[in-house]
Amino acid sequence: LMRLSSCVSFEMNIFYSCMELIKVEGSGAKVQKPIAILDSGVGGLTVVKEVMRQLPQERIVYFGDTARAPYGPRSSREVISLTEQVVRFLVRMDPKMIVIACNTATAVALETIRSSVNIPVIGVVHPGATAAIKKTVSGIVGVIGTEGTIHSKAYEKALREMDPHIKVYSKACPLFVPLVEQGQYNSAKARAIVHSSLVEFHSIPIDSLILGCTHYPFLTSMISEVLGEQIHLINSAEETAFQITHVLSEEDILAKVEAEPSFEFYCSGNKELFSSIAKQWLNRTVKVHQVEWGIVQHIV
């Protein structure tokens, strides 16, 4: 135990001491607090990029649970429990808002997380559905996502609440997330998998396809190659960033325009792989800390 304890990094110590949810107190300094964004891995970076574009003055603290990705094949109970752990970690950073930038976690854990913290929490399913409703003309929409998201029917429910007449065709694409997590989103293997997974949409008259997993925008050009330019690809990131702006302005906690933002990235798996994907996707070098859940849980 002594030898293991000496391996515990600064970040692990933070987690180790944060088993209780800490409530965030409102104060005048709240505007300078970061927005916490989480995902099972690198997928949430597609939301981060859009937040950096629309809200360049905001601080961001990000957690990608890369060691435990993918969440898609896991049971709802497991996904709720993993999401709660990540939220506990992020709440230690004293954020002003939490963004669950993972459709799988949004689909099953959004309400649980909302009821466990006293700061605003938003997910990505509602924004994705809103963006699709704005875009579709025919009212026939496709949704692709992880097994967990598709099985939950979260998109069908959200879309039908907005338009009861909408027709929805859903398909799980479980091979996409591992490709992106391994940084293979530009490979020939990725092209073959995207093609064989989506070719059936050729015979379905959709005019829009919701990328119902935040990892999928990494594959946008390949998806577009298979489906053709005439199908609108709906990425929830842009609408999610609009909704973040809306929530922060309603609460009057938008960061001051002259504020100097800082970005903190944490991941639970390979730090070098995360950093290289983040650098490529965000077009900037980011500092990444690794949190080793395995050692933490072993000690606990």
Q: Write out the residues near ligand DGL by the rule CB under 6 A.
A: 39-41, 43, 69-72, 102-104, 146, 149, 177, 213-215
**CB of 146: closest distance to ligand DGL in angstroms?**
4
**CB of 198: closest distance to ligand DGL in angstroms?**
17
Residue 164 burial (CB < 10 Å; 0-12/13-18/19+)? exposed
Cβ proximity to ligand DGL: between 13 and 81 the closer is 81
Cβ proximity to ligand DGL: between 136 and 152 the closer is 152
Cβ proximity to ligand DGL: between 72 and 95 the closer is 72
DSSP letter string over the chain?
-HHHHHH--HHHHHHHT--SPPPPPP-GGGGGSPEEEEESSSTTHHHHHHHHHH-TT--EEEEE-TTT---TTS-HHHHHHHHHHHHHHHHTT--SEEEE--HHHHHHHHHHHHHH-SS-EE-SHHHHHHHHHHH-SSSEEEEEE-HHHHHHTHHHHHHHHH-TT-EEEEEE-TTHHHHHHTT-TTSHHHHHHHHHHHGGGGGS--SEEEE-STTGGGGHHHHHHHH-TTSEEEEHHHHHHHHHHHHHHHTT-PPPTT----EEEEESS-HHHHHHHHHHHHTS---EEE--HHHHHHH-
Cβ proximity to ligand DGL: between 18 and 67 the closer is 67
* CA separation for the pair 267, 68 (Å, rounded): 10
Cβ proximity to ligand DGL: between 214 and 240 the closer is 214
Indicate which residues carry an active-site annotation: 102, 213
Cβ proximity to ligand DGL: between 32 and 197 the closer is 197
**CB of 186: closest distance to ligand DGL in angstroms?**
18
Cβ(235)–Cβ(209) below 8 Å: no
